[in-house]
Amino acid sequence: MPNIELKAYQASEISFVNKLESGTRIELANKYSYNVGYSASNTCKGEFSIEVADKTNASKFSVKVVISGIFSFSSDMEKERIHVESFKMLFPYARALVTTITANAGIPPIIIPTIDIESQSIYKFEKPKE
């Protein structure tokens, strides 16, 4: 199986809003996006964004995290496989960060459910050649 390696990652955006009254019940909605940009030398940058917010009033409660990772991969890997494998490596960091933020904010920690990316459609947009 071809190799992919996470070389580095960083959180580029973290936002947290909690303006709920004590005892307020909310229903959460999750929004995700993941994109991969390729560069020379068999490297790429993956960017994972997740936002968890109150379905009816995101201005009262929301958590948003954007994490970027730099990956190296073997030259024989297909881009779809790179996309899936890099997502699998970066997702746990974003998931843990959301849980840590909410736990340290003095509210019940939010644990993002796992995502089976291999069962999802991957949309591929290529720039036209000039």
- Does 124 fall in a domain? no
User: Does residue 44 sit in helix, strand or coil?
Assistant: strand
pLDDT digits (tens, 9 = 90+) for 1-39: 459 999 999 999 999 999 988 888 889 999 999 999 999
Output the six-digit token pair for 95: 């998931």
Give the whole-angstrom CA distance, residue 93 versus residue 129: 35
β-bridge partners, 47: 35, 68
Total of domains in the chain: 1
pLDDT for position 74:
93
Structural domain boundaries, residue 57: 4-106
- Does 117 fall in a domain? no
pLDDT digits (tens, 9 = 90+) for 103-127: 999 889 999 988 777 766 655 555 5
Residue 12 DSSP code: E
- Does 127 fall in a domain? no
- Does 89 fall in a domain? yes
Across the range 74-94, mean pLDDT stands at 92
Whether residue 88 is predicted with pLDDT greater than 90 in this model: the reply is yes
pLDDT for position 1:
47
The closest alpha carbon to 80, from 44, 33, 122, belongs to 122
- The CATH number of whichever domain residue 48 belongs to comes to 3.10.420.10
* Predicted TM-score of the model (pTM): 0.83
- Does 128 fall in a domain? no
pLDDT digits (tens, 9 = 90+) for 29-67: 999 999 999 998 899 999 999 999 999 999 999 999 999
- Does 40 fall in a domain? yes
Give the whole-angstrom CA distance, residue 86 versus residue 50: 16
pLDDT for position 123:
53
